[in-house]
Structure 1
């Protein structure tokens, strides 16, 4: 806070000025205007003033801090040379010089350690550029002590120099010491590292750690000193000597030489600015104010517009508000005038004055008035050859404003002028007055005044026709992904990482860039095959160090409302007033005022009014920063209180959102309560077929098991969790995923250890599904029999259904149709739908009744009972829908495609496959996604869309192989061969048939062996019509295999292939008659219709 009386900068907690003792007011959180003590509203912009910030809580805070350690060189020798009183004078002068610099840059002197000094930047109030302030303070302290040394050398024959070390790191700031003497100190490694870094500095120099250097890239000129081994620090740290400030005025300017990320999502705004520039260049002066929240890309848009203009045809002048000079009159105007007049700050006053006179004459300004006015503004000595101004302060101020405007008009008269004024929210009142005059006068000038401001800045000028306001929105999801891709060099990041970046950054470009850079630098991902892959398990993304300061600065400006923000952030990204009120120990008035302040500061969005109001943090990173600022112990207390309140006072939330209570109990360290709620959340998600969410909930519960001390309770909890997790894993990651086998095997082991026999059925059923899909039918058959034997002992009908279904499905794929049908029919008879209130802690992988019906339909179709097959397939789909079990629905639809294939009906097959694909994609079922892709491919090819169908078939087969499935491969390859036959692509078809044969031998899946031989014969003839004998041998082999297996439909097809050839037609008709004997349905289907027609035609002859 700057004292209005003497101009001294005071700390943010000061109530009275340290220079003159005058009472201090409050800086407005919106416009930073200093207000007199006692006011409730800002006298500049009318916004509500926060109460004076309360001192830091005694329990402390976690925060990123930039720590400076400053040490006086040779203090021991000084103490030997000087009288103690003289030494006291010298040390105090040094401490005052350093303290003044630190206070002016809004740092905090934590301790005076004899001849040393410890300072914090980022506490008690954070700024978005604390690291920059610290390094700048270090340079200024070194210069101030050098100047002090010159004075003391003359007065006391004493020379002084300092060594300064700076480091940035995570600390806990809080009270230390006993009751008699307490201090607010930062505890952690950062102060110690800063002290060690200081020891590496030469006298009169500043050395910073790599951690600090990464926060100020391009803003200072650094000399790399390489890695240094520091006492007490495990690994060497890279350190840098600071040689001085660079010419860059902003982080964007500093980053420009290294290349900026291309502008994304601002094409419309850039086009509007260029259109306004065209108007200005034609003499219709324009003013544009680009506003938006921090990090939204205001400066980047300005830079993009500059880049698109030809520098040869326009003049450019830039200035900006500065957080360091908010109360320094005309600070940006002085920089603007110096640039317009071509004055270099390093030149001596005489040279600057001569250049001033030259430029005034060149621009044809009245020298007698302009030169003295600009000399006064720029702190140059007034030349004797000009008469003194002899003006009142007010009159001189108005004349100075007019002179600057005249200078701008003169510059624009030569070439159109692009005048950029950045960070309006930090400009001083005098500069704002100049800009107000410019807004009035700009229509007659060839000037585009392009200004930027934070979203909460309220300009003092009224709307005008030549004034345009552009409010930058957040980026869309697609634009966020584009920024991520550009930062990652066009190489794709793993989808989980991209989703995490998208969720945390909320469309703010700076956040997207910095979080992506952090990911690339953190070791979370590694380069692989032209992209990036996870180097280990996906971890939560931390707040980048480059964003810590700006996020904490927004929180520290809140005053007492910060505590409410911290509590609300602990409740969640969104929360209701009633819940927060029940948790917070505040009266309604205080709470509502604090929430209003958070909404005013644009940290929260509000809908409704208390007590029914709901609030949401605008940024996930702000919420995270608010939470992380709490000590772990305080955070745990908050979470425990929130969980207790939700459980006791909001039972509906506990019932419908058990994962919310689970989260709070987890963070509170209450493992058993958390496990119970994670289990409930997993069960609830599974019941809704939200399997991805179920897996996430249940894995969190499993992770807490080591915290349960009782072994028996721990085993029971794990069994409960594993029996819900395993089927969800099967749905999400495919039945063949290794973790599926592990989950079911662990569940089986726990069942036997705990003695819970009924749940053993579910474990065995899951293991059966794993081996069945893997194509390991011998093991699957053994498990099916074990399930059936156990079910018979338990006497539970549903368990018997599962056993019959498992055995029936396995036997079906082994080609034992009759035996398979017996089991499937018995399972269908025993099946009863599970009542919705059954209350088990698990669900089957697939509804057993649906499976019995669907597999029955397939077996009946292959036996030639095509109408009954269709009826069973349709019944399976209806039952799956009635069960509201999407996994079973997808299975039933895919199983129905085989019946359509058997009936030769491409259109229904395509509809079923596409419906299954939609379900699979919606719910994340990779197994059914691959299956539906294959089946739809055959349907397309059978419908005449050959190329499209074969391409889709191959895509599905690749996906099927990718998930590690071993079963059904012969079936899918037969479909591919049939599609190639339709497309007359014989070589591809024969390759598919050969591959199908190899898959049959590898798995023992004989169901489609007859069809593979038949198709081989058809494709041989397609390739060479003279190979009749070889083809006929294939057809006979197909017929014999089909007949022996009881697959009459496949026998009919083989016989038809023989009957279509003149040489083998009689044999084919004989075999057709045998195959059709006993069939009394399905004669409207393709194969049976042709078979009957051939027999009838032969009989008629």
Structure 2
């Protein structure tokens, strides 16, 4: 065994406070016991309790549980102690159902009133992290501390008589082993958020995990082409008279059963007439009968025509002779025709089944019988190769990055690319993890929270694997989990004495826990979810001790400044060293912001603000409180800078709090800057009306305190807000003023250069909306020049605006190229707004250029990506595009919904998609034969364009008027449109008008 150095050995010692365990809990209580106590004699009631407790003591251990406490007629049992099992949730629910059935059969002694309907229980099942202490007479066998026991008791309280309520956390996929009611949310007393639960009515006719998966709906089958080909080739060789044994080997959830089921389905279709297929599976649940997989095959032969005599012998043989009878039967069948024998989960096979499998393979090979043995198993650390050592092994790897992306896309077709990337990173190519994380993301509509698994039942699967590791490997994997998802090899060695090539580390790699990272000198968890589960299951005191040790080692060694600050901020916060955590998180945020790593900057600034909350004390004096407030506000303002390209309503709430702190401080400069960032982030979210109010407040305060740097930025902000509100007459002078001031200061700081480019970009788009496309492109060139090809977030923003203007102009190919650049850079800097808008604009360009059939869904996807963030900046663009495409397709219901959403944005002064929405409605009215309504909506479209003084909108509306041919004036409208298209150089629309004229002989 590895001898760990003293610091790690001390840190790995369980604390005196108890052990932190992932447990599944069952709480049962007798229904109506208070009323019964009133009419029962005390002796009779005592006898009934004795019988009830006897049932508890018999049934709970039978399902692998341990009774923690019996109090009165209630009982609390734990599943997963001392060893976590992946099916603990199923075991607890099975135990509850058996207890309910047994109690229904009890009759209390003594006379019973006429209204008595029998004894029943009500039960709750839940799972979670629990601190386990040794118990005593007062506390029961164990003292269980944490939220999970309370929730379990609340579930039991919520259950009606003879009802079992189990949380989704405890069951997950295993809910398919039961007949349940629909999943519903239950608000429990003392819990802030509802809990997803099921009412469990009984057991389902499901024996295998694959059958449970089928009931819920199979995940998409992706990849595995090479393995499928190998299996098919083996089948061909067996059909030719060979005996072969192929063993699929992979960790839990990697897809062994899914692959074999796909292969068996194809084999039944292609070779079903000349090859008989037999299936069996092994299980660890309860006490599986000896020879279980072969007996399942035997039962599957019932009703078999032309059955050999050995079938009857095998069916009626005594247990002692059953293996020989089964062997004889399978050999007889193989002599008649080719046989395919599949056994799933071989790692749980009993010794009798293994002996029979080996005998079958040996005798069939000696007789050259056409027999393909196919087994699927997990690698067992304790028994490497002991179960399928005679098989030709096919190691099934995790899905590749590309295959994982395909699986996520099929399970979460509309999810944004950032959540999809989180799922792929967290799952590490494990199909089961991908499926469960996609389900979790679909339920919440949000990303994954670092340090938390998606569900307790999935965490139990991971913990059961850790529990089977040798002690030194288990210690190592827990230390690695505290270090993080990526583990510097030097740090692991400094703390444990185990370097990258140490046998224990290499064993963990072989068992799919950690493996060498692409970056030399680093290791990485194979699956992010594994790291999170192991970390959560590590005791608090142990974690904090390790975090302190890690922080000391990192500080002593040093390294890249940006990475060092991020790492120290994380470990110091986890060790509750809040002053250091705040300092390092703030520094990390500044460095990330300077590198345009916006998501990292936001994360670090938020971490700094969270750490600051722990540094505030009611005993602080006025000066200390004021210093704290000013530091909080200063960090919040830098958070605002990181939010400009990817804002959310949560960011706005932080800035509102900063504004309140600044107001309480009373400093005009502080107030001015918090109002400025409220205005800018509100602008990024499309809240134009409120943002203008904040911007004007910032101007007043900046003038009061003489903040010239801010006054140089504010005209640009006000101008952008006025432009967003389509108030171009006010916007252009403000933008010109901003550009003059920012040009003078552009060489002094990157912030001023960014501000100048934004102002130029906004001015270009206003001019383009008025039909001055040539001037607009010249200004775009100036705005883009300092950032073109830089990968900076402002490049994505400018390219996005260029794409919109090129769409107005009908330069479809160039619009798509600019939009794709915005999408690419937006994804790089993790700016969801520019990423999504670029994706949508590129799709709409493809629709306009070549009627791309995928365009509609891509615009829908991009619109859905933005919805959870609460952002609405120029979202009328998206809804206008969707209304236009849907109206062309004749989908009136969907088109009108997006028309309504586009016009709703007008109430926030976002009219950029208004004219397009009205045109779509006019087209729908014309399709319905309502010419009067079509004319009305065309008039509204003209009005929406005139509100922006938009020449290109007027021309496109005239073109639609000609296309609809509502009256004799359509030719005049067509001529107006053609003339304007030529004047403004709008080639795509010029071609469309020309096709219309040609179609009518003009």
**TM interval, short-chain normalised:** 0.5 to 0.7
Corresponding residue of 1:1066? none
- Measured after TM superposition, the shift of residue 569 of structure 1 is 0.8
Corresponding residue of 1:602? 512
- Measured after TM superposition, the shift of residue 708 of structure 1 is 3.6
Corresponding residue of 1:552? 463
Q: Is the 2:399–2:429 contact (alpha carbons within 8 Å) kept by the matching residues of 1?
A: yes
- Measured after TM superposition, the shift of residue 281 of structure 1 is 3.4
Q: Is the 1:417–1:446 contact (alpha carbons within 8 Å) kept by the matching residues of 2?
A: yes
Q: Is the 2:903–2:911 contact (alpha carbons within 8 Å) kept by the matching residues of 1?
A: no
Corresponding residue of 1:620? 528
Q: 2:393 aligns with which of 459, 469, 484?
A: 469
Whether 1:827 and 2:745 are equivalent positions in the alignment is no
SS in 2 for 1:283: coil
TM-score, structure 1 normalization: 0.60
- Measured after TM superposition, the shift of residue 887 of structure 1 is 1.2
Corresponding residue of 2:294? 336
Distance 1:361 1:906 in 2: 72
Q: Is the 1:65–1:123 contact (alpha carbons within 8 Å) kept by the matching residues of 2?
A: yes
Q: 2:547 aligns with which of 626, 639, 647?
A: 639
SS in 2 for 1:421: strand
| Pairs within 5 Å for 1:437-836 | 437-443=359-365, 444-455=368-379, 459=385, 468-476=392-400, 480=404, 501-516=423-438, 524-525=443-444, 542-561=453-472, 562-582=474-494, 584=495, 586-587=496-497, 592=502, 594-606=504-516, 613-646=521-554, 648-652=555-559, 655-703=562-610, 706-710=613-617, 711-733=625-647, 747-754=658-665, 762-763=673-674, 765-766=676-677, 769=680, 783=695, 787=699, 790=702, 794=706, 796=708, 798-799=709-710, 801-803=712-714, 805=716, 814-815=728-729, 823=737, 826-827=740-741, 830-835=744-749
SS in 1 for 2:82: coil
Q: Is the 1:1017–1:1034 contact (alpha carbons within 8 Å) kept by the matching residues of 2?
A: yes
Q: CA separation of 1:1028/1:317 partners in 2, compared to 1, >3 Å: closer, same or farther? A: closer
Whether 1:65 and 2:23 are equivalent positions in the alignment is yes
Q: Is the 2:513–2:525 contact (alpha carbons within 8 Å) kept by the matching residues of 1?
A: yes
- Computed over aligned residues only, the root mean square deviation of the Cα atoms, in angstroms, reads 7.0
Q: CA separation of 1:686/1:378 partners in 2, compared to 1, >3 Å: closer, same or farther? A: same
Distance 2:88 2:252 in 1: 16
Q: CA separation of 1:57/1:603 partners in 2, compared to 1, >3 Å: closer, same or farther? A: farther
Distance 1:216 1:901 in 2: 53
Distance 1:782 1:663 in 2: 34
Distance 1:801 1:537 in 2: 40
- Measured after TM superposition, the shift of residue 575 of structure 1 is 0.9
Q: CA separation of 1:624/1:963 partners in 2, compared to 1, >3 Å: closer, same or farther? A: farther
Distance 2:818 2:337 in 1: 70
- Measured after TM superposition, the shift of residue 292 of structure 1 is 0.9
Q: CA separation of 1:876/1:662 partners in 2, compared to 1, >3 Å: closer, same or farther? A: same
Q: Is the 2:93–2:125 contact (alpha carbons within 8 Å) kept by the matching residues of 1?
A: no
| Pairs within 5 Å for 1:386-405 | 405=327
- Measured after TM superposition, the shift of residue 291 of structure 1 is 1.3
- Measured after TM superposition, the shift of residue 709 of structure 1 is 2.0
Whether 1:123 and 2:42 are equivalent positions in the alignment is no
Q: Is the 2:958–2:974 contact (alpha carbons within 8 Å) kept by the matching residues of 1?
A: yes
- Measured after TM superposition, the shift of residue 687 of structure 1 is 2.0
| Pairs within 5 Å for 1:86-101 | none
Q: CA separation of 1:279/1:231 partners in 2, compared to 1, >3 Å: closer, same or farther? A: same
Distance 1:66 1:861 in 2: 63
| Pairs within 5 Å for 1:252-331 | 252-253=210-211, 263-266=221-224, 269-270=227-228, 272-308=230-266, 309=268, 314-321=275-282, 323=284
Corresponding residue of 2:309? 362
Distance 1:550 1:418 in 2: 30
Q: Is the 2:903–2:914 contact (alpha carbons within 8 Å) kept by the matching residues of 1?
A: no
Q: Deviations over 1:598-653 (max 9, x none)?
A: 335432214699xx85322222232222122223344344334433443x224325
Greater Cα offset, 286-295 or 106-115: 106-115
Distance 2:243 2:424 in 1: 40
Q: Deviations over 1:873-917 (max 9, x none)?
A: 544332345997431674388479979999x99998886666556
Larger Rg: 1
Q: CA separation of 1:667/1:999 partners in 2, compared to 1, >3 Å: closer, same or farther? A: farther
- Measured after TM superposition, the shift of residue 448 of structure 1 is 1.5
Distance 1:877 1:973 in 2: 29
- Measured after TM superposition, the shift of residue 313 of structure 1 is 5.8
- Measured after TM superposition, the shift of residue 127 of structure 1 is 3.0
Q: Is the 1:295–1:509 contact (alpha carbons within 8 Å) kept by the matching residues of 2?
A: yes
SS in 2 for 1:626: helix
SS in 1 for 2:84: coil
Q: CA separation of 1:416/1:994 partners in 2, compared to 1, >3 Å: closer, same or farther? A: same
Q: Is the 1:880–1:889 contact (alpha carbons within 8 Å) kept by the matching residues of 2?
A: no
Q: Deviations over 1:636-694 (max 9, x none)?
A: 44334433443x22432564353333333333344444333333333333222232333
Q: CA separation of 1:673/1:754 partners in 2, compared to 1, >3 Å: closer, same or farther? A: farther
Whether 1:422 and 2:422 are equivalent positions in the alignment is no
Distance 2:945 2:152 in 1: 67
Q: Is the 1:167–1:191 contact (alpha carbons within 8 Å) kept by the matching residues of 2?
A: no
Aligned residues: 871
Q: Is the 1:662–1:675 contact (alpha carbons within 8 Å) kept by the matching residues of 2?
A: yes
Where relative contact order (Cα < 8 A, 6+ residues apart) is larger, the structure is 2
Distance 1:971 1:79 in 2: 75
- Measured after TM superposition, the shift of residue 449 of structure 1 is 0.8
TM-score, structure 2 normalization: 0.65
Corresponding residue of 1:176? 134
Distance 2:195 2:916 in 1: 62
Q: Deviations over 1:451-476 (max 9, x none)?
A: 11214575579999xx6533223235
Distance 2:146 2:46 in 1: 35
Q: Is the 1:785–1:803 contact (alpha carbons within 8 Å) kept by the matching residues of 2?
A: no
Corresponding residue of 1:347? none
Q: Is the 2:235–2:372 contact (alpha carbons within 8 Å) kept by the matching residues of 1?
A: yes
Q: Is the 2:485–2:531 contact (alpha carbons within 8 Å) kept by the matching residues of 1?
A: yes
Distance 1:257 1:1056 in 2: 61
Q: CA separation of 1:509/1:703 partners in 2, compared to 1, >3 Å: closer, same or farther? A: same
Distance 2:429 2:45 in 1: 59
Q: Deviations over 1:238-280 (max 9, x none)?
A: 88798xx988654335666776556454465445434433443
Distance 2:78 2:393 in 1: 39
SS in 2 for 1:830: helix
Corresponding residue of 2:944? 998
Q: CA separation of 1:680/1:418 partners in 2, compared to 1, >3 Å: closer, same or farther? A: same
| Pairs within 5 Å for 1:902-941 | 915-916=821-822, 918-920=824-826, 922-923=828-829
Corresponding residue of 2:873? none
Q: Is the 2:799–2:819 contact (alpha carbons within 8 Å) kept by the matching residues of 1?
A: no
Q: Which runs of 5+ in 2 are unaligned?
A: 3-8, 30-39, 103-119, 618-624, 860-875, 883-900, 923-930, 988-1002
